[in-house]
Amino acid sequence: MAELKRTGLYDLHVELGAKMVPFAGYEMPVQYPMGVMKEHLHCRAAAGLFDVSHMGQVIVRPKSGDVTDVARALESLVPVSVLGLKEGRQRYGFFTSDAGGILDDLMIANRGDHLFLVVNAACKAGDIAHLRAGLPDSCEIEEITDRALLALQGPDAEAVLETLVPGTAAMRFMDVAVLSSEFGEVWISRSGYTGEDGFEISVANARAGDFARALLVHDAAEPIGLGARDSLRLEAGLCLYGNDIDTSTSPVEAALTWAIQKVRRAGGDREGGFPGAERILREMAEGTDRLRVGLRPDGRAPMRAGTELFAAADSERPIGAVTSGAYGPSIEGPMSMGYVATGQAAPGTVIYGEVRGKRLPATVTDLPFRPSNYKR
């Protein structure tokens, strides 16, 4: 078993009493003394600080020319409009395979003279190799290894961060900026993965601990672990790579076609031209055999990942399976996401999950389970 890596905030996590667990090759905090339930609710009510330094930070810049050359090149690997991304803005995207599956999902930011990408921890080595193999020699690819990445999420995130980094309050959802602070230059996006308003902040490793402590001085801010991060993102209807999306799922099956802009779709000015385009554009036109849906199980017990789903209590063959499931503290009940046959994917449809040998009902529901609170 490979030795686990540690982020630059490891010592702070231990100091704060975190329970550390293996995650994506790192030792990461799953919870603090407050506990998962209270951490979740605190993030919804005030501000939660997450260490996401395990994720990959990558700069792609032109060796000559300008950022439009890099954007055009990246469009050969993703089905989203990178050329249409204005300076100071970012958007969600995904790398697709030749078979139309999802290799990873990521954030893409236009920072003027280069693109800044944030990719998933477990996929970052593969993603960087994919970029090096798929982009022309005119693109320079740099993995950033000397910066931590923190996420400050919740309705009080703006007020807390503005005290340390003036100018962040003026940002809107999906804005990116490079700003000055007493902790050095910080790279900030107004985004996150909780369904709350908030920010992701890249700061030099050498200053990350001091920066995190300065945020936690505020009564509104508390450290939040992976346990609450998972229930927060699930309430927000957001996919976790490796659970809800992977190389076997297409963006259409995963209900992620909202992230494919019109210009890259059939009939658009830059239609196709990305891996798996034939399958993905066909599925957008004709539909798929299965779809990702939200599920609200009856009772209080969650239906966890792997639970088989059936059209009726006495059906012999499953119609799908749960990919994520947890108790939702904010919605005060269990919630799951999974894939079901398209014929059973309409909201309001009652299906059955097999839990400990019993068939229990669950209702297909719209996502997210709880409305998001982004600052538009």
Q: The domain spanning residue 296 has which CATH number?
A: 2.40.30.110
Q: Does residue 182 lie within any of the structural domains?
A: yes
- Residue 1: per-residue pLDDT: 57
Q: Does residue 194 lie within any of the structural domains?
A: yes
Question: Phi and psi for 163 in degrees, rounded to 5?
Answer: -70, -25
Q: Does residue 242 lie within any of the structural domains?
A: no
- Residue 65: per-residue pLDDT: 82
Residues 351 and 215 in one domain: no
Domain that includes residue 363, residue range: 289-376
Residues 360 and 225 in one domain: no
Residues 187 and 307 in one domain: no
Report pTM.
0.97
Q: Does residue 223 lie within any of the structural domains?
A: yes
Residues 217 and 299 in one domain: no
Strand order in the sheet with 147-153: 176-179, 186-189, 198-204, 147-153, 47-51, 221-223
- Residue 260: per-residue pLDDT: 98
Into how many domains does the chain fold? Answer: 2
Residues 220 and 333 in one domain: no
Residue 340 has pLDDT above 90, yes or no: yes
Residue 72 has pLDDT above 60, yes or no: yes
Burial of 317 (0-12, 13-18, 19+ CB in 10 A): exposed
pLDDT in tens, 229-245: 999 999 999 999 999 99
Residue 11 has pLDDT above 60, yes or no: yes
Residues 299 and 364 in one domain: yes
Q: How are beta strands 308-310 and 350-355 bridged, if at all?
A: antiparallel
Q: Which of 235, 252, 276 is the last residue of a domain?
A: 235
Mean pLDDT of 356-370: 96
Q: Does residue 155 lie within any of the structural domains?
A: yes
Strand order in the sheet with 139-144: 89-96, 102-110, 115-119, 56-62, 139-144
pLDDT in tens, 13-55: 999 999 999 999 999 999 999 999 999 999 999 999 999 999 9
Residues 207 and 329 in one domain: no
Q: Which of 218, 235, 252 is the last residue of a domain?
A: 235
Question: Phi and psi for 209 in degrees, rounded to 5?
Answer: -65, -45
Residues 304 and 177 in one domain: no
Q: The domain spanning residue 195 has which CATH number?
A: 3.30.1360.120
Q: Does residue 107 lie within any of the structural domains?
A: no
User: What is the widest separation between alpha-carbon atoms in the chain?
Assistant: 64
Mean pLDDT of 296-323: 96
- Residue 333: per-residue pLDDT: 97
Residues 181 and 300 in one domain: no
* Under 8 Å between Cβ of 149 and 86: no
Residue 316 has pLDDT above 80, yes or no: yes
pLDDT in tens, 195-214: 999 999 999 999 999 999 99
CA dist., res. 78 & res. 130, Å (int): 11
Residue 110 has pLDDT above 90, yes or no: yes
Mean pLDDT of 131-154: 98
Q: Which of 235, 259, 280 is the last residue of a domain?
A: 235
Question: Phi and psi for 221 in degrees, rounded to 5?
Answer: -100, 130
Residues 159 and 50 in one domain: yes
Q: Does residue 272 lie within any of the structural domains?
A: no
